[in-house]
């Protein structure tokens, strides 16, 4: 644990918070599932499951839904999370499924967002069955639709108004870190939905974070580095909060000591620069297509105003961890979701607890996004 993370953990423990850090579960993931295709044209999928990991082949394309070597374990019974990757991209998507339906809002910042079914959630608290974060830029929205049709099947193909699958989603432009045109499609979205499990989130180069990168503000004078998806979980009393993020930012990742720990790498010196160390080199070649996607989930009941406040405050706080943030060439999206299992929506004290937890956890989640990456992963 870096000194900044240690200090934050000590501070939270002092104030009565229970914090969970990402853990390396390599030893737990030695068993792999193998899923093979059945049915004409590879349309059917038959699974042989012996553990949490899975590798599927649909026709000639492989789908990897394994948890990977780095996993955060958390305790939020109201949400199930699954990731799926096309290794030939690599690109992927991450699905948050709320089996008993949850309530959420969305906060969208930056100049270049690309989303699916967010209008209602921007106006106020809205019911939601699932959220899909995906690579592939606009093409990746097909994966979000795949999650919706996957839920349609689970609802016995009922099209009654009250049973319509309410699925939202957002994309990152991950083509900048790879040379392929592969994008998450309907099959990959459905694979991530099928892989969804409670209490487990894959870190690093998994799901939508497979080809995510960060620290491009000073290009070409410095180089971007690969990032990924990160998460953190905390609890105070009965209130539980999980923050999950996919970091594909133009800005670099900064720790609690104010040091750049990912991105803006100077190839000449090996040092990572702050965004304001430009030497007059900014703006000429800064790449477009940057986005950080975040999902905040709590079991605390929150009303419309409270959820909106959580989304705004947590999203704003992330500018400490990613610098710069919410730029014109970013498309940052944050969902705030409550599963409504404990408390009262009128309890402003508990709302402050959620905000206090989530703003701290968001920084931890960003720092965990490049877990498993090394200096060769650039």
CB 130 within 8 A of CB 117: no
Annotated catalytic residue within 291, 339, 351, 353: 291
β 252-254/239-248 pair status: unpaired
Distances, alpha carbon 190 to alpha carbons 187, 219, 239, 311, in Å: 5, 36, 31, 27
291 is annotated as an active-site residue? yes
Burial of 232-246, coded b for 16+ CB within 10 Å and e otherwise, reads: bbbbbeebbbbbbbb
> For residues 231 and 68, what is the distance between their CA atoms, to the nearest angstrom?
14
Cβ neighbours for 32, distance < 8 A, ≥ 6 positions apart: 51, 53, 54, 55, 66
d(CA 180, CA 332): 24
Beta-carbon neighbour count of residue 226 at 10 Å? 24
Closest by CA position to 133, among listed 184, 105, 169, 109: 169
Q: Write out the catalytic residue numbers.
A: 291
């Amino acid at each position: 644990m870096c000194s900044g993370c240690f200090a934050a953990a000590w501070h939270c423990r002092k104030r009565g918070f229970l914090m969970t850090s990402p853990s390396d579960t390599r030893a737990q993931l030695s068993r792999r599932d193998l899923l093979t295709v059945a049915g004409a044209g590879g349309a059917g999928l038959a699974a042989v499951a012996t553990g949490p990991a899975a590798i599927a082949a649909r026709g000639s394309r492989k789908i990897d839904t394994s948890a990977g070597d780095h996993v955060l374990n958390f305790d939020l019974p109201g949400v199930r999370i699954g990731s799926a990757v096309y290794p030939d991209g690599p690109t992927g998507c991450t699905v948050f499924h709320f089996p008993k339906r949850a309530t959420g809002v969305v906060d969208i910042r930056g100049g270049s967002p690309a989303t699916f079914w967010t209008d209602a959630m921007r106006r106020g608290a809205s019911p939601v069955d699932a959220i899909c974060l995906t690579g592939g830029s606009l093409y990746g929205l097909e994966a979000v639709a795949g999650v919706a049709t996957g839920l349609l099947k689970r609802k016995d193909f009922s099209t009654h108004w009250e049973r319509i699958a309410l699925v939202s989603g957002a994309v990152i432009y991950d083509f900048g870190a790879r040379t392929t045109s592969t994008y998450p499609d309907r099959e990959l979205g459905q694979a991530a939905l099928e892989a969804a499990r409670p209490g487990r989130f894959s870190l690093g180069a998994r799901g939508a974070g497979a080809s995510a990168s960060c620290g491009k503000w000073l290009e070409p004078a410095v180089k971007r580095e690969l990032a990924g998806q990160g998460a953190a979980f905390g609890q105070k009393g009965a209130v539980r909060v999980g923050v999950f993020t996919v970091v594909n930012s133009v800005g670099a990742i900064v720790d609690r000591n104010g040091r750049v720990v990912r991105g803006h790498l100077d190839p000449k010196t090996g040092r990572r620069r702050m965004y304001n160390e430009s030497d007059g080199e900014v703006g000429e070649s800064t790449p477009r297509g940057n986005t950080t996607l975040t999902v905040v989930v709590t079991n605390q009941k929150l009303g419309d105003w409270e959820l909106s406040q959580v989304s705004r405050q947590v999203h704003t706080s992330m500018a400490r961890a990613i610098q710069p943030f919410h730029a014109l060439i970013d498309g940052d999206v944050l969902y705030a979701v409550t599963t409504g299992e404990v408390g009262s929506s009128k309890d402003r004290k508990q709302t402050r607890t959620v905000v206090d937890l989530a703003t701290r956890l968001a920084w931890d989640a960003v720092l965990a996004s490049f877990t498993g990456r090394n200096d060769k992963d650039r």
